[in-house]
Structure 1
Amino acid sequence: MQALMDAINVFIVDAAGQWWVYPLLFVLCTVDGFFPPLPSESVVVALAAVAVSAGVPNMWLVVLVAALGAIAGDNIAYAIGRAIGTERFAWMRRPRVAASFAWARRGLEHRGAVLILSARYIPVGRVAVNMTAGATGYSRRRFVPFTLLAGVSWALYSAAVGTLAGQWVSDNHLVAVVLSVAIAMLLGLLVDYLLKLGGRLQRAKLRRQLRARMAANRPAGTGPRPGRELADVRPDAGPDALP
């Protein structure tokens, strides 16, 4: 078993030190911007972990290439959204995918900058947000700077996760890779949960504001109204739904 582990560690170091790692990383990060099944984040954190534990590849080159690929992928997703919309193909109309697009559309209307930056850390979320931005005509002049900041911060974050894992288990490159990928997945789930929680809190705030306006507009001395107006407003409706 020890001989097998040694052989795997040698293979990991040899592969990480090859020149083709960088163009491969760029392609993965680019395609992942509009095709989320590709594990670009896992590759970035794994390479960072190996860079710390073995000295190859070059950490800063990994960050640069990953950031450039992420930026390119996000802008390609925007262009795809502008060209085809979000309902042309059958897979786009599946309940879960359609819900992601609806979530992205609501978020872009009210907190575009925050959504574009934070969605970069969620594989399906970033595709939904960036394609929806293109499909709904979100300003490209505003969109591009946000993707620059999102791509750089995402690459630095992924490298930091890999660096942390690589320092913990510097004597075993395979364990460093596995640990770094696991940490990245857990943090991604946490970001996804926090974004959903923020959305629920925002909808709850909207409902409270709606109730307060209905109470303020109610004639003095009248009893509570049936609340049909409140029931007719979807929980995810925007401020335009207020009476």
Structure 2
Amino acid sequence: MNWTDPASIGYPTLFLGVLIGSIVPIVPTGAVVGAAAAVAMTTPHLTLPLVLLLATLGAAGGDLITFAIARLGGDAAVRWLARGQREDRLAGARERFRRKGWQLIVVGRLIPAGRIPVLLAAGAVSYPWRRLVPATLAACVLWAVAYALLGVVSGGIFDSPLIATLLAAVLVLAVTGVVNLVAKRRRDKAKERQGETKVGS
């Protein structure tokens, strides 16, 4: 590997960043994909198709490892995955998963903070691998395309790789914040409706 070639550093960094961030959610994987797409749009060092492929494979690999830990790991492993997750959210995910698992895998990957509860629920109900793998791949393709588009937009606005990368990261964070806010409001409204139903009964 030629470490003086930016591609030799960029591609492994993209793949490992998304893979690790999909297992241990401390790396902003969406921002990594958006930044890589912005670089691909403004320099010859990376190509967009390969960015999409590696982002998809890294995300899918991380999700499948997370599911394997949830399904095959012991109680300590599951508690480690569930750290920071609210118990009511986990319980709700398990119940919904029994009814529409495939759709939840796709939506959980696209919604910030939705992935871990869904994968834990999948492990808890022993969701079959033959269904999980294609659903995960489809979800990760959609996810990679969505965040790469933000990088493509920023790369189309600015010719400078640095500015395009920074704009892509800002766009990813802004979109994530908006999606989180919308999801929170929907959860709050659902709780209000449940409260009203209980009072009425």
Which TM-score bucket, shorter chain as reference?
Answer: 0.7 to 0.9
User: 1:131 and 1:34, CA in 2 relative to 1: closer, same or farther beyond 3 A?
Assistant: farther
Preserved CA contact (<8 Å) 1:92 1:98: no
**Amino acid of the structure 2 residue aligned with 1:193:** L
Q: Which sections of structure 1, spanning at least 5 residues, go unmatched?
A: 1-13, 212-225, 231-243
| TM-superposition CA deviations, 1:175-208 (whole Å, max 9, x none) | 2111111111121222233334444555666678
Q: Which residue of structure 2 aligns with residue 69 of structure 1?
A: 58
Preserved CA contact (<8 Å) 1:33 1:127: no
Preserved CA contact (<8 Å) 1:87 1:93: no
Q: Which residue of structure 1 aligns with residue 19 of structure 2?
A: 30
Q: Which residue of structure 2 aligns with residue 181 of structure 1?
A: 169
Q: Distance in 2 between matches of 1:160 and 1:178?
A: 14
**Amino acid of the structure 2 residue aligned with 1:154:** W
Q: Which sections of structure 2, spanning at least 5 residues, go unmatched?
A: none
Cα deviation for residue 148 of structure 1 reads 0.8
Q: Which residue of structure 1 aligns with residue 143 of structure 2?
A: 154
User: 1:90 and 1:110, CA in 2 relative to 1: closer, same or farther beyond 3 A?
Assistant: closer
**Amino acid of the structure 2 residue aligned with 1:21:** G
The alignment yields a C-alpha RMSD, in angstroms, of: 3.0
**Amino acid of the structure 1 residue aligned with 2:172:** A
Q: Does 1:195 align with 2:191?
A: no
| TM-superposition CA deviations, 1:12-59 (whole Å, max 9, x none) | xx9883323222322222222221102222111111111112233111
User: 1:37 and 1:103, CA in 2 relative to 1: closer, same or farther beyond 3 A?
Assistant: farther
TM-score, scaled to structure 1: 0.69
Q: Distance in 1 between matches of 2:97 and 2:110?
A: 16
Q: Which residue of structure 2 aligns with residue 218 of structure 1?
A: none
Cα deviation for residue 105 of structure 1 reads 2.2
Q: Does 1:102 align with 2:91?
A: yes
Q: Distance in 1 between matches of 2:58 and 2:81?
A: 24
**Amino acid of the structure 2 residue aligned with 1:176:** A
Q: Which residue of structure 2 aligns with residue 136 of structure 1?
A: 125
TM-score, scaled to structure 2: 0.81
More helix by share: 2
Q: Does 1:79 align with 2:78?
A: no
**Amino acid of the structure 2 residue aligned with 1:147:** T
- Aligned residue pairs total 199
**% identical aligned pairs:** 32
Q: Distance in 1 between matches of 2:60 and 2:134?
A: 10
Q: Which residue of structure 2 aligns with residue 58 of structure 1?
A: 47
| TM-superposition CA deviations, 1:115-143 (whole Å, max 9, x none) | 22122134542123213311232233322
